[in-house]
Amino acid sequence: MAQRLGMRTLDELRIDIADGTVDTVLAVFTDHYGRFLGKRFDAEFFVEETAHHGTHGCDYLLTVDMEMEPVPGYRFASWEQGYGDFHLLPDLQTLRIASWLDRTALVLCDVEDEENHTLVSVAPRTMLRRQIDRATQLGFRAKAASELEYFIFQDSYRDAAARGYQGLTPAGWYIEDYHALQGAREEAFNGAVRRHLRQSGIPVENSKGEWGLGQHELNVRYADVLAMADNHAIYKQCLKEIADQMGISVTFMAKYAADAAGSSSHVHLSLWQGDNNAFAGEQSFGPVHCSDAFRWFLGGWLHHLPELMVCYAPTINAYKRFQAGSWAPTRIAWSYDNRTAGFRVVGRGQSLRIECRVPGADCNPYLVYAAGLASGLDGIANQIEPPAVFEGDVYAAQHLPRIPMTLRDATLRFAQSQFANDVLGQEVVEHYVHFFRKEQEAFDNAVTDWERKRYFERI
């Protein structure tokens, strides 16, 4: 098979090092927020040592908050345990040129126990790997795609921070959904992003204007689910760093302003057996011709959404996006090619797939795909039937169950879920319940701009 543009084997990387094309290798993993953490290696040292033996990182990195403060109360790592190391093993299938960085290659790592080198269960990439193993045991291979939305601002990140993220200037000044003219004005950024992603081993399909001022969506080609989660994480890093280089900024907040559109991360999933889409079939199910596997996978995904909601909406801000008429879902239903539904079935035959419109752009892709796969596979294992297809405006369907509308509610459901304990493991559930509760606590203790505007003078 021909090597994908931008991807590298170790031998190919040695050639890049010899001719001066690469002198640095960035080895990273994702934390609970989906951020890249890791080290920059001298490229020669990487190919001779790190690529084979891995490296280490402080285990506190899977217990920190957004400000990198160690959070007490985790079993995994603590001051009492001395905050030791875990092992980072490069997955050489992810080795690539990071074309937006000077003379730099990038590789993603799995997080392992320092002593026995087993995968650390609470690491996001491990969680997805274990659901992929479940799919393999059932004879399936999962393919996926993420559709990420983001806002572009003319302000640099440093200037935006200095201004308290207030009064920022959007890159566009009218809603440009699909508009070519306004999109051309932002092409210096979006065009650079498309080219750099392609040159870094991530095939791009397209970019387009979205429904907010300066809002865009960029789509990359579907892939095996682990590769897609990796590509999703790299995509976000690439966009932020290119924006930083250009003196502008982008945000993947799910809802950056009350009067602005939300930013989604619609995700597509399908199961395959060899070269055939296992969802395709001759059964008539509403408007869809499908297999039992499709029907039960959809049933499981719908059924388990409330108890795994934290995997799709992991921040306080994520729940501000779920508003009627906002293109974000508010109720649990499935439809065929209907953007008011949380689950939008699209395609036919070999292209048949399920689009989940619940996640926002702030999601951690490994958690999203782990939750979706776990739910759908359980649907197949237990033959969970989905409800009948819904036709019409889901926003107006008051009889349909609502999705959890706050992080507090979603965390409680997750904590009480026997299914989550069974498929993710008790250690994982306990760890992430603590993570989400601490995120909620941080917000509960904060004094917001809304409170000052409302109460400073008039209370």
What letter does residue 77 receive in the DSSP assignment?
S
Q: How many residues does the chain have?
A: 459
Instruction: Quote the pLDDT of residue 340.
Output: 87
Q: From CA 69, how far away is CA 228, in angstroms rounded?
A: 30
Q: Are strands 343-346 and 353-356 parallel, antiparallel or unpaired?
A: antiparallel
pTM (two decimals): 0.96
Question: What was the pLDDT predicted at 321?
Answer: 95
**What pLDDT is attached to residue 205?**
93
Confidence class for position 412, pLDDT limits 50, 70, 90:
very high
Q: Check whether 399 has a pLDDT greater than 70.
A: yes
The pLDDT value given to residue 1: 39
pLDDT at 211 > cutoff 50: yes
User: What does CATH list as the number for 10-120?
Assistant: 3.10.20.70
Surface-to-core class of residue 178, CB atoms within 10 Å of its CB (0-12 exposed, 13-18 middle, 19+ buried): exposed
Is residue 144 within 8 Å of residue 229, measured between CB atoms?
A: yes
The mean pLDDT value of the chain amounts to 95
pLDDT of residue 315: 97
- Lowest mean per-residue pLDDT among 77-81, 107-111, 373-377: 77-81
* Distances 408 to 14, 184, 260 between C-alpha atoms, Å: 50, 41, 24
pLDDT given for residue 3 in this prediction? 64
- The H or E element that residue 335 is part of is strand 334-336
Q: What is the pLDDT of residues 117-166, one digit of tens each?
A: 999 999 999 999 999 999 999 999 999 999 999 999 999 999 999 999 99
CATH of domain 135-407: 3.30.590.10
Q: How far apart are alpha carbons 426 and 424 in whole angstroms?
A: 7
Residues of the chain with CATH 3.10.20.70: 10-120
pLDDT tens for each residue of 107-116: 999 999 999 9
For residues 279 and 352, is the Cβ–Cβ distance under 8 A?
yes
* pLDDT at residue 270, rounded to an integer: 98
Q: Are 41 and 11 in contact (CB under 8 A)?
A: no
Q: What is the amino acid identity at position 94?
A: T
* 401 burial via Cβ count (<10 Å: 0-12, 13-18, 19+): exposed
Cβ–Cβ < 8 Å for 393, 302: no
Using the predicted structure, report yes or no on whether residue 2 has a pLDDT greater than 80: no
Percent of the chain with pLDDT over 90: 91
Instruction: Quick: pLDDT tens for 170-203.
Output: 998 888 888 888 888 899 999 999 999 999 999 9
Please give the Cα distance from 396 to 416 (Å, whole number): 30
Note the pLDDT tens digit of each residue in 259-291: 898 999 999 999 999 999 999 999 999 999 999
What pLDDT score does 312 carry? 98
As annotated, the residues of the chain forming the CATH 3.30.590.10 domain(s) are 135-407
